[in-house]
Amino acid sequence: MAIQTFKCVIAVAFLSLFILKSGQATDLNVDFVANVLETTCNISLEQDGNININNDGMDNYSLKIPDVRLEKVINADVAAQADFKLVATGCSANVMKITTRIFGSSISGALINNEATGDAASHIGMGFKRRNSEDSAFILPNNSDAIQWSADEMSNGLPMTVALRETTAGAGTIGSFRAKATFNFTYE
């Protein structure tokens, strides 16, 4: 589910470069040895409410918001959203900061567009925010907006909400909905 990036210190054991004169070989081979001095964390998505979360065993998670009436989506009712937690485990003692970014391949403002085909809902998207935040606090799913985890969240999990909302006010239609979000984590 997540592409994990991390900062690391690389110790270069040996590196030598020579300036080549014309007529000499044009290939340059460089060998080096690197030691990664920091490990990262294992991040999982956990159920935090009445919504079932499935993990395919390869860190690909899915959750399903039960069928919801269009007016609940239009009115930003809690019936059109689900709560979950991102939980960090196995972190190195030196990890002092976790940053999360979200990416969606097709977005409309702060919402990831519906990717369902056939009998698909139109002008409906899903957004992610910290639990109990207003819709104005949706995290832009463009891989640049970031959430910094607090020390408590690093210990107990980051409470989040995914919500279905209209991408264009008054234009939402009923149908199936399916969308994918990629969570990216940076450790410092």
The pLDDT tens digits of the residues spanning 38-70 come to 568 999 999 887 788 888 888 889 988 889 999
Mean pLDDT (whole number) for 74-102? 94
Taking the C-alpha atoms of residue 41 and residue 128, their distance in angstroms, rounded to an integer, is 21
Q: pLDDT class for 32, splitting at 50, 70, 90?
A: low
Does pLDDT of 18 surpass 50? no
Please give the pLDDT value at position 132. Answer: 93
Residue-level pLDDT at 170: 95
Nearest CA among 139, 130, 125 for reference residue 65:
125
Going by C-alpha positions, the residue among 11, 182, 7 that lies closest to residue 92 is 7
| Dist. CA 38–CA 106, nearest whole Å | 34
Is it the case that residue 21 has pLDDT exceeding 80? no
Q: What is the pLDDT of residue 135?
A: 94
Encode pLDDT of 89-145 as tens digits: 999 888 999 999 999 999 999 999 999 999 999 999 999 999 999 999 999 999 999
What is the average pLDDT across 23-47? Answer: 68
pTM of the model: 0.77
Task: Give me the pLDDT at residue 1, please.
Answer: 38
Residue 3 reports pLDDT greater than 70: no
| Amino acid identity, position 95 | V
pLDDT at residue 25 tops 90: no
| CA dihedral (105, 52, 163, 49) positive or negative | negative
Instruction: Report the mean per-residue pLDDT for the chain.
Output: 84
For residue 161, how many other CB atoms are within 10 A of its CB?
21
- Percent of the chain residues past pLDDT 90, beyond the cut: 66
Domains of the chain: 40-187 (2.60.40.1090)
Number of C-beta neighbours around residue 98 at 10 A:
22
Query: What pLDDT is attached to residue 26?
Result: 57
**CA 127 to mean position of chain CA atoms:** 11
Average pLDDT over residues 20-35: 55
Distance CA 11, CA 103 (A): 32
